[in-house]
């Protein structure tokens, strides 16, 4: 059984990525899985080449530092030739209507005067990633489930039209997916590309900055610590973050606090502690480029090896 998940280097790794995804990949991941940095996806909107390269390295270091099995880790563009080839074949099995129906495309393109064509087609690239690696399960947030549905449809269509090559993947939305919200605006999810970094805790933020951001988190004027996500989203977010760090349920933690200040203090300390080891190991890895390059090259070689027969078969069966 192979699982495949990715993180896009469109900004620094934030606490939501860590608690909602990376920590799980480290705990549950095996050498058969694939966890990669989707740098090609980061090019679907305006990007800076040097920053993209630096963020890709940083994210690779964070994944390894967090304990994701090094043999399962890689960088998407290390297979750009293979992916380019399969993406073309899959684009030739996908209709314009299917791509244009993707909710993410519609949301991200509405009202923009200029949209990169790749924003429309990248779900096909994502399908190529999944199908090339033979992934059976794709753990995703519910915002990406539609893209995995497209990958399923394209796998079935290819197999039915040209011959059995691809495993048909399925999306799995993790059952207790921690959905960390923005500290400054708890109605939105925390995201690495947030406009206002005050609401986003980055994994590599120094401890004092983490404490400052959490102490300034927006709450409400009700003054009671209860777990009520609809009425008190800010307080609920802090409880959820604390619970994720402590391995407890948010509702069971609430009665322990008499004030928002106490809750913030406890949450800040839990987050600082949770991130301390990852931050330290990431910094050490970034200072040791040779080791990072070695892991990256190894991941690329392995991903290429495991995908070669599928790519060859797909090209041959489709008439190339």
Residue pointed to by tokens 């399960």: 137
- C-alpha dist (Å) from residue 81 to 76, 85, 88, 125, 304: 10, 6, 11, 12, 10
Kindly tell me which of 131 and 178 has the beta carbon lying closer to ligand ADP.
178
| Cα distance between residue 288 and residue 12, in whole Å | 19
Bridge partners, residue 3, by sequence: 137
Per-residue binder mask for ligand ADP (CB under 6 A), 195-214, x = binder: --------------------
Distance CA 280, CA 66 (A): 10
Could you give the 3-state DSSP secondary structure of residue 128? helix
Cross-sheet strand order for the sheet of 73-75: 4-7, 34-37, 73-75
Stretch that binds ligand ADP, among 11-19, 78-86, 154-162, 268-276 (CB under 6 A): 11-19
Is 264 catalytic? The answer is no
Q: CB nearer to ligand ADP: give 93 or 144.
A: 144
* b/e burial code for range 68-97 (CB count within 10 A of at least 16 → b): bbbbbbbbbbbbeebbebbbebbbebbeee
Smallest separation (angstroms) from ligand ADP to the CB of 194: 8
| Residue 189 within binding range of ligand ADP, rule CB under 6 A | yes
Q: Can you state the angle between helices 117-132 and 80-91, rounded to 10 degrees?
A: 110
**Quick one: which segment of 15-23, 26-34, 202-210, 295-303 binds ligand ADP (CB under 6 A)?**
15-23
CB nearer ligand ADP, residue 193 or residue 259: 193
215 assigned to active site:
no
Q: Which of 3, 4, 21, 125 binds ligand ADP (CB under 6 A)?
A: 21
Shortest reach from residue 185's CB to ligand ADP, in Å:
12
Rounded CA separation 319/310 (Å): 14
Q: For residue 171, what is the enclosing H or E element?
A: strand 170-172
Within residues 134-173, the interface with ligand ADP by CB under 6 A covers 141
Residue number of the CB closest to ligand ADP reads 20
- Secondary structure of 222-270 as H, E, C letters: CCCCCCCCCCCHHHHHHHHHHHHHHCCCHHHHHHHCCCHHHHHHHHHHH
> Site for ligand ADP (CB under 6 A): which residue of 2, 10, 121, 219?
10
Closest separation between CB of residue 93 and ligand ADP, Å? Answer: 25
CA distance 250 to 237: 9
Stretch that binds ligand ADP, among 46-54, 161-169, 184-192, 259-267 (CB under 6 A): 184-192
Nearer CB in complex with ligand ADP: 93/121: 121
Q: Which stretch binds ligand ADP (CB under 6 A): 81-89, 123-131, 188-196, 228-236?
A: 188-196
Residue 44 within binding range of ligand ADP, rule CB under 6 A? no
Q: Which helix (H) or strand (E) holds 74?
A: strand 73-75
Q: Contacting ligand ADP (CB under 6 A), which of 2, 14, 219, 232?
A: 14
Cβ closest to ligand ADP, residue 180 vs residue 271: 180
Q: What are phi and psi of 279, to 5 degrees?
A: -65, -45
Under the criterion CB under 6 A, does residue 180 sit at the interface with ligand ADP?
Answer: yes
Residues carrying an active site annotation: 108, 189, 192
User: Which residues sit at the interface with ligand ADP, rule CB under 6 A?
Assistant: 5, 7-8, 10, 14, 16-17, 20-21, 141, 178-180, 189-193
């Amino acid at each position: 059984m192979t699982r495949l998940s990715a993180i896009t280097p469109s900004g620094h790794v934030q606490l939501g990525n860590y608690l909602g995804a990376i920590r799980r990949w480290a705990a549950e991941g095996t050498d058969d899985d694939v966890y990669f940095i989707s740098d090609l996806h980061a090019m679907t909107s305006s990007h800076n080449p040097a920053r993209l390269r630096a963020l890709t390295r940083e994210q690779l270091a964070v994944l390894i530092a967090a304990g994701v099995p090094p043999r399962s880790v890689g960088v998407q563009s290390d297979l750009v030739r293979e992916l380019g080839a399969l993406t073309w074949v899959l684009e030739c099995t996908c209709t314009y209507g299917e791509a244009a129906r993707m909710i993410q495309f519609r949301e991200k393109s509405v009202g923009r005067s200029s949209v990169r064509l790749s924003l429309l087609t990248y779900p096909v690239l994502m399908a190529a990633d999944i199908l090339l690696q033979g992934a059976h399960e794709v753990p995703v947030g519910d915002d990406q489930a539609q893209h995995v549905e497209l990958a399923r449809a394209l796998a079935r269509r290819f197999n039915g039209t040209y011959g059995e090559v691809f495993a048909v993947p399925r999306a799995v939305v993790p059952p207790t997916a921690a959905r960390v919200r923005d500290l400054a605006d708890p109605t939105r999810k925390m995201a690495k590309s947030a406009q206002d970094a005050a609401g986003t805790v980055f994994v590599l933020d120094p401890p004092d900055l983490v404490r400052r951001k959490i102490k300034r988190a927006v709450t409400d004027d009700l003054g009671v610590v209860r777990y009520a996500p609809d009425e008190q989203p800010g307080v609920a977010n802090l409880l959820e973050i604390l619970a994720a760090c402590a391995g407890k349920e948010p509702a069971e933690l609430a009665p322990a606090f008499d004030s928002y200040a106490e809750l913030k203090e406890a949450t800040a300390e839990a987050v600082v502690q949770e991130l301390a080891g990852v931050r330290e190991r990431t910094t050490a890895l970034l200072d040791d480029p040779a080791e990072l390059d070695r892991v990256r090259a190894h991941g690329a070689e392995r991903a290429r090896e495991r995908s070669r027969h599928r790519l060859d078969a797909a090209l041959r069966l489709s008439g190339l």
